[in-house]
Amino acid sequence: MSSSIKTFSRVARPRLTLLSAPSSFASFRPLLAPTSCSTQPAPYQKRSYASTPPESPTTPVVTTPPKKRIIVAMTGATGVVLGVKILKALRRLGVETHLIMSKWAEATIKYETDYQPIDIRSMADFCYTIKEQSAPISSGSFHHDGMIVVPCSMKTLAGIRMGYCDDLITRAADVTLKERRMLVLVARETPLSDIHLENMLAVTRSGAIIFPPVPAFYTRPKTLADVEDQSVGRMLDMFHLDTGDFERWAGFKGKK
């Protein structure tokens, strides 16, 4: 009887082996870290898309760069045809465009060109009204490759300089500056007052580029369209986009 009790005791109360405690609680941290379940895409600048899934680890993956995105804003200053040609050039280059037109830009379009505002909207991939502050481009979380205000009125320049975001153009420009992205302001005014110059200097120090549409005469333009094409081409140079629509300086040619 005593023998059976001893045997039962061995079964019911096995010998326990204690594991030594870790010297640091940090060794458990990988086990405690939550598993990521994010469904958000990778950042816009780093996205890549495989043309075909790799068959093996040694099969090379063919990737294509993400499509560029440019915000195009048009204000009521004269020279609205430059904005129209910017949209046309970006479409031809395969760039995704996000368009904002002010009320006075629409009026200037009808006055200075043969287009209607609806025609200009059809040239862009996405369009927003001037008061649409909830648009995706009003947030820094929206990835894009830069913004151009063409033409840029002195009122819009002042609003951007002061950070007074009372409409979508100034808000999108403000976001572009704070996110350290390219902002090109095609300022249209002459002559310039000290207020204009101070505003230009301030936004330049904040990272914007002031780009007055000054024509280049070394190309010997024959028509106004030649002047426009050269200006548009140089503007898009700021975004590392080549329109191929104008002659670049290559030194003096012919008679000296």
How far is the C-alpha of 73 from the C-alpha of 69, rounded, in Å? Answer: 13
One-letter amino acid identity for 158?
A
pTM metric for this prediction: 0.75
Q: Is residue 50 part of a domain?
A: no
Q: Is residue 117 part of a domain?
A: yes
How far is the C-alpha of 10 from the C-alpha of 1, rounded, in Å? Answer: 15
What's the confidence (pLDDT) of residue 147? 98
Q: Is residue 44 part of a domain?
A: no
Work out the percent of the chain whose per-residue pLDDT is above 70: 74
What's the confidence (pLDDT) of residue 233? 96
How far is the C-alpha of 19 from the C-alpha of 112, rounded, in Å? Answer: 84
pLDDT exceeds 70 at position 163: yes
How many CB atoms are closer than 10 A to CB 188? 20
Q: Is residue 173 part of a domain?
A: yes
CATH no. for residue 148?
3.40.50.1950
Q: Is residue 185 part of a domain?
A: yes
Tell me the C-alpha to C-alpha distance, in Å, between residue 84 and each of 63, 106, 108, 146, 183. 32, 12, 12, 17, 18
pLDDT exceeds 90 at position 252: no
Tokens at 22, concatenated: 């870790």
Q: Is residue 23 part of a domain?
A: no
Segment 32-52 shows an average pLDDT of: 37
| Bind-site residues for dimethylallyl phosphate | 218, 234
pLDDT exceeds 90 at position 57: no
What's the confidence (pLDDT) of residue 229? 95
Q: List the domain range (segments joined by +) for residue 99.
A: 69-237
What's the confidence (pLDDT) of residue 59? 62
Q: Is residue 38 part of a domain?
A: no
Q: Which residues contact 161 (CB under 8 A, 6 or more apart)?
A: 199, 202, 203
Cα–Cα nearest to 97, from 51, 59, 150: 150
Q: What is the number of domains present in the chain? A: 1
For 59-100, write each residue's pLDDT tens digit.
666 666 778 999 999 999 999 999 999 999 999 999 999 999
Q: Is residue 148 part of a domain?
A: yes
Q: Which residues contact 28 (CB under 8 A, 6 or more apart)?
A: 22
| Bind-site residues for FMN | 76-78, 102, 153-156, 188
For 175-230, write each residue's pLDDT tens digit.
999 999 999 999 999 999 999 999 999 999 999 999 999 999 988 999 999 999 99
| Bind-site residues | 76-78, 102, 153-156, 188, 218, 234
What's the confidence (pLDDT) of residue 66? 79
